[in-house]
Every structure is written in C-alpha cells, then in structure tokens.
C-alpha cells in the first residue's frame, strides 16, 4: 500500500514512486540519501534501513524530527487538529491568519502541519524573508472528523516506519549533502523545477543547476534524479545536458502535475528519471519495512 506522508506540498512524487521502484538498482547497503526530501514520499515508500533525508526547508525537517522523537504522535496530532479545526470553523479565515502570523513569528511543527492542510490548494510557499504566505483555502469546515483521522493515520504510518529504521533528518543544502556519499550509498535527487514554484522555500537558478550536475557527476555511488522533461508548451533544457554526459541514462514517464488554481492549469507532464546507470528490467531493491496506512 502506498504510504502518503502528512506533509502536503506541490510536486509530490506519489505517482512516480512505482516508476522509481522499477528503475531502482541498489543492493540496499549504505545509506539512501535525499538532498531535496520535500514531503519525503519517496523515502517513506522505498523504506531503506539507513538514510540521510535532507532539505533546506527547516519546517519540513523539524516536523519529521518531531515524529521521529515521539514529540508528535497520532493521538496528539488528532487533538491538535480537532482543536484548531474547531477554531477555524468558528472564526474562519480570521483564525487561519492568526495561526499564520503566530507561525511566522515563532515557527513550530504543529502550526506548520495545520497551515499546510488549511492553506489554498495545498501550496507550500514562502516569501523572500522566509515567511509562509499562502492564503486561506476558504473552507472553514476543512477539518472534518474523517480528514483529521486521515492526517493522524498518515502520522501513524510514518512513525511506524521511523521506529524501525536508522534515518537522519538534516537541514542542509544539497552542496553539503552530496559530498558525504560513499560507494555503497544511493542518491535520489528531486530538485525544485526552475521557473515552476521555485519559491517553495529557496530559489533555484542556473548556478544551482550547474552545481547539482557537477555534484551528481562526481558521486562515487549510483543516483536517480527526477525532473520535468516537457509539457505542451516547452521542454526542460537541463535534461538535454544530462543526455550529453557519458554513462547517464534518461527514462521518460508520463506524470500528472496537480498544482494550479483552476483545472485548465492542471495538465499532464512528461517526467524524466535520470540515472548514472542503465536501468535493468529486473533490479535488486531493499525490502520495505511493513507499515500499514489506514484510510
């Protein structure tokens, strides 16, 4: 069963997980390294025994550290969202913006979880000062009993995985993470899409693209990178740069990009999965830990 994490953000790779599994060629030794974890949906579904899960978004990392340490549990998540949900139902957007102001003044994983599920269209976005600036979703009754149960169960599934693995969650830039890789590790990189929602926490530019390409090319281990290849309007020039590097392979996957304020902005996109090895039809993968997600 697919593990859906409690963090909701744009560009989540839930639909890509089966394709990543199919192309993954790794014995499971060493660490699984994600320098751009985002929601961490890929790591939670691959479920390696050892992992370094990193991101520059301190709020995501702190939330998963809270789950890992036992500070954030399914029971107290349920209580928190029931309390905040009632306040939202009573006061509407007034309460949402009060929580957003509180979070921006003194961030904590509890308000971050609430905001990520009460904001407009599940968009995670910060301004240049690092302040969460997504407007209210205009659904005061958002936190129904079934919705609260869904999120609590997502936390339960994640907590169960983390109780049986050796994972480190780290706030770090990819330039500091990639050099730590060893020959037995595997790196999965899902960098921000240049020009598409790049202000989810930090910007992304040509210099970052170049540093990432050089960092991946210098790795002593295997890696997989996911990025967009093309849509109906344009193609991604960085993929062509990967195609020119000897030993790199590009596999294409049709993927539905599900972020946009209206249906016409939600359109299919062809994703590229770039590897520094040729994927085989049958690969050896680490055996996932058993975790059941109740819906």
Per-residue pLDDT of the chain (295 residues; tens, 9 = 90+): 899 999 987 777 888 999 999 999 999 999 999 999 999 999 999 999 999 999 999 999 999 999 999 999 999 999 999 999 999 999 999 999 999 999 999 999 999 999 999 999 878 899 989 999 999 999 999 999 999 999 999 999 999 999 999 999 999 999 999 999 999 999 999 998 654 444 455 667 788 889 999 999 999 999 999 988 877 777 787 888 888 899 999 999 886 555 444 555 556 678 899 999 999 754 444 444 443 333 2
Pair (151, 224) in one structural domain: no
Exposed / middle / buried, residue 166 (Cβ in 10 Å: 0-12, 13-18, 19+): exposed
Pair (186, 150) in one structural domain: no
Pair (184, 257) in one structural domain: yes
Number of domains the chain is built from: 2
pTM exceeds cut of 0.85: yes
Ramachandran angles phi, psi of 227, nearest 5°: -155, 170
In-domain check, residue 4: no
Please enumerate in sequence order all residues whose Cβ is within 8 A of that of 178, keeping only pairs 6 or more positions apart, or say none. Answer: 33, 35, 187, 215, 216, 218, 219
In-domain check, residue 208: yes
CATH number at residue 203: 3.40.50.150
Pair (34, 80) in one structural domain: no
Give me the domain span that covers residue 134. Answer: 74-158
Pair (198, 261) in one structural domain: yes
In-domain check, residue 253: yes
């Amino acid at each position: 069963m697919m593990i859906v994490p409690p963090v909701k953000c744009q560009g989540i790779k839930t639909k890509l997980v089966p394709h990543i599994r199919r192309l993954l060629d790794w014995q499971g030794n060493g660490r699984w390294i994600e320098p751009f974890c985002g929601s961490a949906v890929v790591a939670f579904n691959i479920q390696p025994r050892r992992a370094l899960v990193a991101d520059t978004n301190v709020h995501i990392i702190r939330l998963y550290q809270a789950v890992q340490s036992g500070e954030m549990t399914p029971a107290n998540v349920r209580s928190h969202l029931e309390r905040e949900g009632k306040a939202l139902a009573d006061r509407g957007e007034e309460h949402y913006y009060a929580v957003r102001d509180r979070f921006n003044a003194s961030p904590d994983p509890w308000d971050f979880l609430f905001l990520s599920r009460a904001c407009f269209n599940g968009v995670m976005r910060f301004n240049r000062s690092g302040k969460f600036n997504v407007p209210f979703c205009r659904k005061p009754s958002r936190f129904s009993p079934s919705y609260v149960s869904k999120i609590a169960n997502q936390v339960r599934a994640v907590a169960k995985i983390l109780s049986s693995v050796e994972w480190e969650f780290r706030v770090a830039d990819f330039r500091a993470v990639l050099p730590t890789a060893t020959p037995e590790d595997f790196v999965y990189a899902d960098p921000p899409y240049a020009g598409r929602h790049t202000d989810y926490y930090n910007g992304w530019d040509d210099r970052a693209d170049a540093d990432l390409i050089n960092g991946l090319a210098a790795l002593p281990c295997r890696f997989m990178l996911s990025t967009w290849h093309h849509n109906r309007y344009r193609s991604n020039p960085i993929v062509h740069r990967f195609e020119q590097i000897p030993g790199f392979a590009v596999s294409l996957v049709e993927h539905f990009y599900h972020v946009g304020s209206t249906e016409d902005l939600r359109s299919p996109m062809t994703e590229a999965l770039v590897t520094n090895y040729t994927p085989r039809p049958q690969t050896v993968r680490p055996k996932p830990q058993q975790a059941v997600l109740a819906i």
